[in-house]
């Protein structure tokens, strides 16, 4: 009996499909970023490594700022609803929203997609979302990696990771050292759940009936705050800021304030979005809600009171910042005032 020859394809990895996907990314990204590409970046996709010419970014005395993240188990929600066109936006948002906390302008982004088997239709939708996220944040998709890993991931399973680099002038660097006593804390609304707390969400909805409201809310893409926050940095309107991700307000805001100052948050002022009210009704304590979810606050800004009116003009009506607290001197790191209103 003649033995069948072994091959990479028979082990579950299809190099031809991966190459088709790479060609698609190359073509699609060239069209999407046509106005931003230079002689280096126009041919990055498909190379061993990517090149970016920082001279084109007019920033004096620049510092490099880097961030990496993923979207967690929100991927499982995308799989459940077979909807993949926005998860890429989430991926970019989770990285660039961390960069702007330090005042850095995102300049380029790379992605890593790992899957059991490459499904071109699904992968193309994911990439289109990543490109859209990059365009919103005004940075380039310069490269990435797609790994087909049968045995590690089941056929329909996949994972996403992102890596972003930004630039900030040394003089414009935002750090907690600029925070002063009596500064005001402002909340910038989130677009929804963003990409945190989905392991708990999935447990809650495991045996739940999914209506139109829930299906829509669970996959609302993470708000990208790049344009607004960088405008504030340019105009010297903030002393510090915080991206409200895993850990919620109570763990993230304190990271942006010096140890000798206290964060005072009036929880009753938080404008809780409907999706969080729904989740609260599923037997979750107040503290667990605030540590797991953003509860309607996607980003926090710390500034002087006299700058607030100018600051608000940098945001549209839907994402208007509003006051939720202040900075003071005391032995406490965090002081929670009143209770959150569900």
pLDDT tens digits, 309-340 = 999 999 999 999 999 999 999 889 999 999 99
- CATH number for 197: 3.90.650.10
Residue 306 inside a domain? The answer is yes
197 and 313 in a single domain? The answer is yes
Average pLDDT over residues 105-130: 95
Give, as one character, the DSSP assignment of residue 342. -
- Residue 14's nearest CA partner among 115, 113, 111 is 115
Given 104, 136, 171, which residue is the final one in a domain?
Answer: 171
User: How does pLDDT run across 197-208, given as a tens digit for each residue?
Assistant: 999 999 999 977
Task: Give how far Cα 269 sits from Cα of 244, 266, 336, Å.
Answer: 16, 6, 11
Closest CA to 142 of 20, 67, 30: 30
Structure tokens at 172: 């414009």
Q: Are residues 65 and 135 in the same domain?
A: yes
The stretch 132-154 carries a mean pLDDT of: 93
What's the rounded Cα separation, in Å, for the pair 248 and 258? Answer: 19
Token pair for residue 303? Answer: 């500034």
Residues 265 and 336 sit within 8 Å (Cβ to Cβ): yes
* Residue 5 forms part of a structural domain: no
Q: What is the predicted pLDDT for the residue at 24?
A: 79
Mean pLDDT, residues 209-224 taken together: 94
Structurally, the chain folds into a number of domains equal to: 2
Query: For the ranges 19-33, 178-192, 208-222, which has the lowest average pLDDT?
Result: 19-33
* Pair (298, 318) in one structural domain: yes
Residue 165 lies in a domain: yes
Residue 154: CB atoms within 10 Å: 11
User: Residue 1 falls within a domain, yes or no?
Assistant: no
The dihedral of CA 8, 10, 12, 16: what is its sign? positive
* Residue 69: inside a domain: yes
Last residue within a domain, chosen from 136, 171, 206:
171
**Residue 262 belongs to some domain of the structure:** yes
325 and 180 together in one domain:
yes
Which has more confidence, 50 or 117?
117
Q: How far apart are CA 84 and CA 132, in angstroms?
A: 13
What's the confidence (pLDDT) of residue 117? 92
Say which residue the tokens 């700058």 belong to.
307
The verdict on 44 and 134 lying in the same domain is yes
pTM (global) more than 0.95: no
Q: Is residue 342 part of a domain?
A: no
Residue 40, pLDDT score: 55
Tell me what the mean pLDDT of segment 44-56 comes to.
Answer: 79
Residue 41 has pLDDT above 60, yes or no: no
Q: How far is CA 79 from the centre of its chain?
A: 19
Out of 118, 144, 171, pick the residue that ends a domain.
Answer: 171
Q: Worst-scoring range by mean pLDDT, 23-32, 162-171, 257-266? A: 23-32
Closest to 141 (Cα-Cα) out of 52, 21, 17: 52
Same structural domain for residues 143 and 243? Answer: no
- What is the number of helices (H) and of strands (E) in the chain? 11, 10
Torsion of CA 272, 276, 277, 280, to 10 degrees: -130
Given this model, what pLDDT does residue 334 score? 95
Q: Between residues 47 and 174, which one has the greater pLDDT?
A: 174
Q: Say if 3 falls within a structural domain.
A: no
CATH code of 109's domain: 3.30.1330.10
What phi and psi, each to the nearest 5 degrees, are found at residue 141? -85, 110
Question: Which pair of tokens denotes residue 198?
Answer: 């989905």
- Give the CA count within 13 Å in the CB-facing half-sphere of 191: 15
Q: Identify whether residues 187 and 127 lie together within a single domain.
A: no
Residues 143, 234 within the same domain: no
Quote the domain boundaries for residue 258.
Answer: 176-337
Domain identity same for 161 and 215:
no
**Do 81 and 136 fall within a single domain?**
yes
Res 172 pLDDT > 80: yes
User: Tokens in use for 262?
Assistant: 């206290």
**130 with 279, same domain?**
no
Mean predicted confidence (pLDDT) in 244-266: 95
Same domain? For 222 and 333 the reply is: yes
Give me the mean pLDDT over the 49-74 stretch: 91
């Amino acid at each position: 009996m003649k033995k069948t020859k072994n091959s990479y394809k028979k082990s579950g990895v299809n190099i031809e499909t991966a190459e088709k996907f790479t060609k698609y990314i190359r073509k699609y990204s060239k069209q999407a970023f046509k106005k931003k590409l230079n002689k280096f970046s126009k041919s990055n996709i498909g190379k061993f490594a990517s090149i970016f010419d920082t001279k084109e970014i007019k920033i004096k005395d620049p510092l490099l700022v880097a961030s990496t993240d993923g979207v967690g188990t929100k991927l499982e929600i995308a799989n459940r609803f077979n909807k993949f066109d926005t998860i890429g936006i989430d991926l970019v948002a989770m990285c660039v929203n961390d960069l702007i906390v330090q005042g850095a302008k995102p300049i380029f982004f790379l992605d890593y997609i790992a899957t059991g088997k490459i499904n071109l239709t699904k992968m193309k939708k994911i990439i289109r979302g990543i490109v859209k996220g990059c365009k919103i944040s005004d940075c380039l998709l310069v490269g990435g990696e797609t790994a087909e890993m049968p045995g590690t991931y089941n056929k329909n399973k996949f994972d996403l990771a992102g890596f972003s680099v930004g630039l900030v002038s040394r003089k414009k660097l935002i750090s907690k050292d600029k925070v002063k006593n009596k500064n005001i804390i402002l909340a910038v609304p989130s677009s929804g759940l963003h990409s945190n707390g989905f392991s708990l969400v999935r447990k809650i909805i495991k045996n739940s009936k999914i209506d139109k409201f829930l299906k829509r809310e669970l996959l609302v893409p993470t708000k990208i705050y790049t344009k607004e926050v960088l405008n504030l940095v340019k105009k010297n309107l903030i002393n510090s800021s915080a991206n409200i991700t895993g850990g919620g307000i109570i763990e993230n805001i304190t990271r942006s304030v010096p140890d000798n100052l206290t964060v005072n948050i009036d929880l009753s002022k938080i404008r809780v979005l409907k999706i969080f009210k729904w989740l609260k009704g599923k037997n979750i304590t107040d503290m667990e809600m605030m540590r797991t979810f953003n509860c309607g606050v996607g980003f926090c800004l710390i500034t002087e009171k006299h700058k607030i009116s100018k600051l608000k003009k940098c945001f549209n009506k839907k994402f208007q910042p509003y006051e939720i607290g202040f900075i003071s001197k005391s032995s406490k790191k965090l002081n929670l005032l009143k209770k959150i209103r569900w």
